[in-house]
Amino acid sequence: MTEELRARLRALPSFPGVLPVFDPSGAPPEPEPLFLAWLDEAVRDGVFAPHAATLATTDATGAPSARVLILKDLDDDGWSIATPADSRPGEAMLASGRAALTFFWPSLGRQVRVEGAVRRAPEAESAADFLARPASARATALVGRPSAALADEAAYRAARDAAAARLEAEPGLVPPEWALWRIVAELVEFWQASDDRAHVRLRYRRTGASWARERLWP
């Protein structure tokens, strides 16, 4: 079975036949404009959830974990994501103060990696993010207990219904655990796949107030 599975996996296509051409020599001096340009291309190409990224963290014991979240904003303060402070990724970011994001747009053969320090946004900004979520998402978040074992579906449904009713009575309610986080990038890498596997990699490294750009071997 192992040989059969290995053969099946190797036969699966990785990227489409036609891929964009990326010339790093024309890249901007900072990574954010290039990311936004690639994001716009992903949107035009019809990539589903192009703003989704894998958030990777390590907790106080060094145990790694990863999950997919949505990029909420990108500005001078950093790359913004949201998750409760008492969730596994929230606790890990509080413990280590660091995190990484990976965006992947397979139809374009592109990845973007972001690494850096994490800062929790002020309460007012976290509250604004929470209140901008759909009512159903706010009810789910209000139930809490992220990553706790669920033994009774009926109990969860009852708790969620109670949370929805509470939000209807208190539309401005924000759980204190809800947090907006900003990853202050220290490294951003752009990866463009190539049919001949000579993939193009461009890395930005923060050096004080500016960025150093460097090509990497494929």
**Residue 178 is assigned to a ligand binding site:** no
Question: Residues 147-157: pLDDT tens digits?
Answer: 778 888 888 88
> Is the per-residue pLDDT at 145 higher than 80?
no
**Residue 12 is assigned to a ligand binding site:** no
Question: Residues 4-47: pLDDT tens digits?
Answer: 999 999 999 989 889 999 999 999 999 999 999 999 999 999 99
**Residue 183 is assigned to a ligand binding site:** no
What share of the chain in percent tops pLDDT 70?
100
What pLDDT, on a 0 to 100 scale, did the predictor assign at position 118?
98
Torsion, Cα of 161, 163, 167, 173 (10° steps): -170
The pair phi, psi for residue 191, each rounded to 5°, is -130, 120
**Residue 166 is assigned to a ligand binding site:** no
Distance CA 38, CA 116 (A): 20
> Is the per-residue pLDDT at 62 higher than 90?
yes
> Is the per-residue pLDDT at 172 higher than 90?
yes
Distance CA 218, CA 210 (A): 25
What pLDDT, on a 0 to 100 scale, did the predictor assign at position 146?
72
Instruction: Name which of 102-111, 159-168, 184-193 the model is least confident about.
Output: 159-168
Burial code of 13-40, b = ≥16 C-beta within 10 A, e = fewer? eeeeeebeebebeebeeebbebbeebbe
**Residue 111 is assigned to a ligand binding site:** yes
> Is the per-residue pLDDT at 126 higher than 80?
yes
Residue 197 or 181, more confident = 181
Q: What is the mean pLDDT of residues 138-161?
A: 84
**Residue 43 is assigned to a ligand binding site:** no
**Residue 70 is assigned to a ligand binding site:** yes
- Taken as a whole, the chain contains a residue count of 218
CATH code for the domain defined by 27-121+179-218: 2.30.110.10
Instruction: Give the start-to-end residue ranges of the domains of the chain.
Output: 27-121+179-218, 131-175
What pLDDT, on a 0 to 100 scale, did the predictor assign at position 195?
86
Taking CA atoms, 106 is separated from 59, 203, 218, in Å, by 29, 19, 17
Place of tokens 């001078």: 76
pTM of this structure: 0.93
Distance CA 68, CA 53 (A): 5
**Residue 69 is assigned to a ligand binding site:** yes
54's tokens: 């894998």
Neighbouring CB atoms inside 10 A of 73's CB total 15
**Residue 182 is assigned to a ligand binding site:** no
What pLDDT, on a 0 to 100 scale, did the predictor assign at position 143?
86
